[in-house]
Amino acid sequence: MKEIIIATKNAGKAKEFKQMFQPLGYEVKTLLDYPEIPDVDETGTTFEENAILKAEEVSKVLKQIVIADDSGLSIDALEGRPGIFSARYAGEEKSDEANMDKVLNEMKDVPDGSRTARFYCALAVAIPGKETYTVSGTCEGEILHERKGSYGFGYDPIFFAIDKGKAMAELEPEEKSEISHRAHALRLLEKDLPTLFGEGQS
């Protein structure tokens, strides 16, 4: 089984990547398996820039192919916020509940029809000695007025997924993986995985 390293310490993301990659014959490891690697400063101004920073930095340390994702929620009525600050929107502590509370409060006077939003995911693949490769995916939706569902993580309980007609957090993991921003990005990446890994990888 080929090994893929995902540059994340987010347990929710780690679980989703494992669900996506294992059927393709890849064993997934994350930064949870390498606690000695320090966090990478996300100084980029776009999801792509931050994904590239994380992938390249971890790849330099491990001298292996590393995939990094940077993703978040972009709300039209909030001029694209929380955007690249999605994980820490309510503060440095990275609280999903506090982040959702802040968004719901900022959206409390926004009427239905003007609550459009999308999840965005950028994936970067850093390969030692080669140029970093990127793909991206989106999932269109709307911001709900209250939390719904108990699956997923992050902003899933307040995001109405248009393709499924329900909150992202009401979707079983298999359903979410059909329409999520991460799944869309991964499908683009999937066809190039054999080429990216090349011969002699294990």
Q: Quote the tokens at residue 132.
A: 């970093």
Establish whether 99 is an annotated binding residue: no
pLDDT at 13: 85
Q: What is the pLDDT of residues 68-112, one digit of tens each?
A: 999 999 999 999 999 999 999 999 888 999 999 999 999 999 999
- What mean pLDDT value characterizes the chain? 92
Distances (CA, A) of 116 to 6, 82, 120, 144: 30, 13, 13, 10
Establish whether 41 is an annotated binding residue: yes
Q: What is the pLDDT of residues 178-200, one digit of tens each?
A: 999 998 998 898 888 878 877 44
Picking from 135, 140, 138, 142, the residue whose alpha carbon sits closest to that of residue 120 is: 138
Among 14-18, 51-55, 61-65, 155-159, which is the least confidently predicted range?
14-18
- Bridge partners (DSSP) listed for residue 26: 2
Catalytic positions: 70
Establish whether 130 is an annotated binding residue: no
Q: Which domains does the chain have, with CATH numbers?
A: 2-197 (3.90.950.10)
pLDDT tier at 61, thresholds 50, 70, 90: very high
Picking from 162, 164, 168, the residue whose alpha carbon sits closest to that of residue 148 is: 168
pLDDT at 3: 87
- Bridge partners (DSSP) listed for residue 75: 117
Q: Contact at 8 Å (CB) between 136 and 123?
A: yes
pTM score of the predicted model = 0.88
Establish whether 154 is an annotated binding residue: yes
